[in-house]
Structure 1
Amino acid sequence: MGNQEIVQKLWNLCNVLRDDGITYQQYLTELTYILFLKMMNEKGKLSPKDRENVEHIIPEEYRWDSLVKLEGTELKNHYQRLLLELGKSENELLRQIYADASTSISEPKNLEKIIKSIDALDWYSAEKEGLGDLYEGLLEKNASEKKSGAGQYFTPRPLINVMVKLIDPKVGERCNDPAAGTFGFMIAADRYLKSKTDDYFDLDPQQAEFQRKEAFSGMELVKDTHRLALMNALLHGIEGRIEHGDSLSNNGKWLKNFDVILTNPPFGTKKGGERATRDDLTFETSNKQLNFLQLIYNALKADGNARAAVVVPDNVLFESGVGAQIRRDLMDKCNLHTILRLPTGIFYAQGVKTNVLFFTRGKTDKGNTKEVWVYDLRTNMPSLGKRNPLTEEHFEGFIKAYTAEDRRKVKDERWNVFTREEIAKKGDSLDIGLIADESLSVYENLPDPIDSAEEAIAKLEQAIALLNEVVDELKAVEEDEVVSK
């Protein structure tokens, strides 16, 4: 049984929990609690050394075998106690994975079925293919199930792989994602470097230790997502710093002096129009992407080599006022050499139009951008979605243009260059490079109707959930008033 089959079997267990009213996201979090114990159990079977490490990390009374031998209410009570105790563990990793953990499973028979089903899977095959890849498959499955939820922080893997390949991280460089999500960018960067160094066996022990413990870091705001990131990193053998918190607050001030930044910051504005609370951002705005953009280019080493690839929505390219000031600052401090205009339909909302900015921090803070090359992968592209997913083959033309020794010799109508002076005349707008295609029928570029229907359903579900919260709050107020009378 391969990892894909195991992922499908694990995902099918979610049907068991439908009657408990558990969402996909809750299920994945619950799976993380349970899978951590099972995967540590599997790692402990490999060698005496691993067994000692597992025994050191997890108290004996809360290991996997303690769950397998119990049933019914006794199992449920033990599991609840396990979550509580591991969340208070002296071991930092355990404490972070199980911080504030509680179960969403109300029926003991459902918990029992999940544990027995997981125990019966072919873990020998899973270990051979890689437990990290298995978990990554679960994260991807979760994102594809509900774009309005998990997909918000799940960047398509083909896009991540292309960004990593073109940024080309090197051994010994410090890489970071300030909006880490499930840590996908850093996992891909680690995998990229492992493929070039025989899983780091070509490196000396000090270099290998740096790659494992210091090379990859990140910060994530959402607690459950941070939990998934920790688990993902652990299963891929990465022990770097993954902080839980807001990168746009003063807690994120440690994010600086990086060689490489790869990220897809969250879209939208701060709630209530709040500004970022970090006091070292030059320009004040409530626009999260603009705040992340200035955070990113200022967090790169000013050595002429530090570089970033960042996913941003279209409004970052053309928003006036503070937006223009931030773009001007970016082009002064960095060489913004390439913009990739991405096709629609690859993220959680069909209508969201996005781009990737590729830039290198200069040694000085003025005049680093001379010209900007733009590749239009949006115009006259097939409708992409769940039934026609984005693949790395879609990027072949862009990769060829990006890596060309002489970009001016590339014969591709999607590939165009704009001088810094031309951009200045447009008010420093970067909404450039989209090619005209009058032959394109308006009907050919309509979104996938099934994707659109799923998106509409998701929005209605969110609205209903919000209304239910309002009703619950009103009922609570009424009850308080009755009690006070």
Structure 2
Amino acid sequence: MTTTNDIVAKLWGLCNVLRDDGVTYNEYVTELTYLLFLKMLEETGRENRLPDNYRWGTLAKREGLEQLEYYKRMLLDLGKPEVKDVLVRAIFTDAQTRLRKPTNLKALTSNIDQLDWFSAREEGLGNLYEGLLEKNASDKKSGAGQYFTPRPLIDSIVRLMQPQPGEVVQDPAAGTAGFLVAADRYIKDHSDDLYKLPEAQAFFQRHNAFVGAELVPDTHRLCMMNLLLHGIEGGVDNIDTLSPDGETLTKADLILTNPPFGTKKGGGRPTRSDFSVTADTSNKQLAFVEHIVRALKPGGRAAVVVPDNVLFEDNTGRRLRTWLMDLCNLHTILRLPTGIFYAQGVKTNVLFFRRGTTDKANTSAVWVYDMRANMPAFGKTRPLTVADFTEFEAAYGSDPNGGAERSEYSEEGRWRRFSREVITARNDNLDIAWLRDTEAEAEEALTEPEDIAAAIIGHLKAALEEIEALSEELEPDTITIPEAAE
């Protein structure tokens, strides 16, 4: 992917051109998405998706203020309801440029035109765009890490869950579609790019297999672009999963997701009519777990990234865990290392479970793999890699539903089984650790100022999360507001 990496570096370098225009990193990636979408339609011979008067060639040849005004009209018109192509409308709805200087737009269009598009097509335009998203997420200044789950983690989860052709795969907090794209790639790798599938099934994979939701409009734009460049036509809606819109998402055979952490702004509660366990909490991660359980078909499976408080929080948290272990077989918990989710600033885990065909006693035991204790100090100088998950994947086994034969290596090992009775005795607290936590020692080994600062911010955010959770539990159910005097 040498050419792809070179192009990503060149595209990212162009952001320096825009600093004088006051364009932020995230705005820059959104701006690039508009321009790359138009250029890539030209490169792939699919400009018939656009109105005749709005094409890349027409934009690129213009100069000065005329080019900037034409570009502004183009963004406005491509998002209008009369545009027939649904995906074009989704990418350009409410689109507006942050560019103010005509010279900056000309610099972008000229540099994009000069890139090695032949090699980029050979290596895959989707890989190019994903590389750009990864670059944005890894840059601390962009703040986009919250929308980007580390690729080694995504790929490990997908390998374990083994998505199959014909299955509906859902991500109710899709971000830039990392999980959905990885699931699609896994299926294509195992079906000769879908050529081994009957045409009807190949059509299903391109148009109906992947569904989800993304709340943030600009992130949804990036998501739709990423899906398009990987041969997936839409499927992710710009909606709030915790609102009634979330009830309309297609029931899934497999759910892969890293939901947002924290509480809903203003202390708002979910407004779903089908929620019962988390209906009265503003804790988003708890509410997303309820959605996932309800969105799975009987026998469906899920892998979901959650912060530690989902494992130990009392009251609503405990009721949710008890309910989850009744309705599902929660067979595996992976305790993730620190330093891989600095944007969120909390310790995280992956829950692996399968929806039962009955609603009682589906969990008989939970296996826990501790990938957190005695691990390197992950950060800029020591990024997470595919190899870091090798031992966990071997312990997990070949059955995506956790049914492979498993054995504990030793009491001092990272892999242990806890019966449902033991968990009940712990008041269904699943925050289980038995190895000496050397997190403090690992953090002392951090050398990059960005990593040290991020670790400090992480501790502060985790403390705030605990305070918010405690405050919510102490908060009265109803608050009477006196009527204003006339």
- TM-score, with structure 2 as normaliser: 0.89
In the alignment, which of 66, 73, 77 is matched to residue 85 of structure 1? 77
Partner of 1:54: 47
Q: Please, what is the CA RMSD of the aligned residues?
A: 1.8
3-state SS, counterpart of residue 237 of structure 1 = coil
Contact 2:72 2:96 in 1 (8 A): yes
Deviation at 1:257, TM superposition (A): 2.3
Contact 2:242 2:272 in 1 (8 A): yes
Deviation at 1:242, TM superposition (A): 1.1
**Letter matched to residue 445 of structure 1:** E
Deviation at 1:279, TM superposition (A): 1.4
Measure, in 1, the Cα distance between the counterparts of 2:344 and 2:41. 39
Partner of 1:17: 18
3-state SS, counterpart of residue 122 of structure 2 = helix
Partner of 2:442: 444
**Letter matched to residue 110 of structure 1:** N
Measure, in 2, the Cα distance between the counterparts of 1:427 and 1:317. 11
Q: Does 1:130 align with 2:128?
A: no
Contact 1:350 1:451 in 2 (8 A): no
Between 1:119-128 and 1:67-76, the stretch displaced more is 67-76
Partner of 2:369: 375
In the alignment, which of 203, 208, 224 is matched to residue 214 of structure 1? 208
Contact 1:164 1:192 in 2 (8 A): yes
**Letter matched to residue 276 of structure 1:** P
Partner of 1:359: 353
Measure, in 2, the Cα distance between the counterparts of 1:243 and 1:441. 39
**Cα deviation 1:383-415 (Å, max 9, x = unaligned):** 101221101100111011000742125457000
Partner of 2:381: 387
Measure, in 2, the Cα distance between the counterparts of 1:84 and 1:5. 32
Aligned CA distance change for structure 1 residues 161 and 310 (closer, same or farther; 3 Å): same
Measure, in 2, the Cα distance between the counterparts of 1:350 and 1:87. 32
Deviation at 1:129, TM superposition (A): 0.4
Q: Does 1:294 align with 2:293?
A: no
Aligned CA distance change for structure 1 residues 403 and 244 (closer, same or farther; 3 Å): same
Measure, in 2, the Cα distance between the counterparts of 1:331 and 1:147. 40
Q: Count residues with an aligned counterpart.
A: 446
Contact 2:26 2:142 in 1 (8 A): no
Deviation at 1:436, TM superposition (A): 2.2
3-state SS, counterpart of residue 445 of structure 1 = helix
Measure, in 2, the Cα distance between the counterparts of 1:151 and 1:448. 20
Measure, in 2, the Cα distance between the counterparts of 1:156 and 1:442. 23
Identity of aligned residues (%): 57
Measure, in 1, the Cα distance between the counterparts of 2:235 and 2:90. 12
3-state SS, counterpart of residue 44 of structure 2 = helix
Partner of 1:7: 8
Aligned CA distance change for structure 1 residues 434 and 148 (closer, same or farther; 3 Å): farther
3-state SS, counterpart of residue 341 of structure 2 = coil
Unaligned runs of 5+ in 1: 45-52, 460-485
3-state SS, counterpart of residue 350 of structure 2 = strand
Q: Does 1:323 align with 2:317?
A: yes
Measure, in 2, the Cα distance between the counterparts of 1:156 and 1:397. 18
Partner of 1:421: 421
- TM-score, with structure 1 as normaliser: 0.89
Partner of 1:408: 407
Measure, in 1, the Cα distance between the counterparts of 2:332 and 2:213. 26
Unaligned runs of 5+ in 2: 399-403, 459-486
Aligned CA distance change for structure 1 residues 160 and 434 (closer, same or farther; 3 Å): farther
3-state SS, counterpart of residue 287 of structure 2 = helix
**Letter matched to residue 80 of structure 1:** K
| Pairing of 1:20-31 with structure 2 (within 5 A) | 20-31=21-32
Partner of 2:92: 98
Deviation at 1:373, TM superposition (A): 0.2
**Cα deviation 1:166-207 (Å, max 9, x = unaligned):** 111111110000000001100000000000000000111011
Q: Does 1:155 align with 2:149?
A: yes
3-state SS, counterpart of residue 418 of structure 2 = strand
Aligned CA distance change for structure 1 residues 155 and 291 (closer, same or farther; 3 Å): same
Partner of 1:482: none
Aligned CA distance change for structure 1 residues 148 and 407 (closer, same or farther; 3 Å): farther
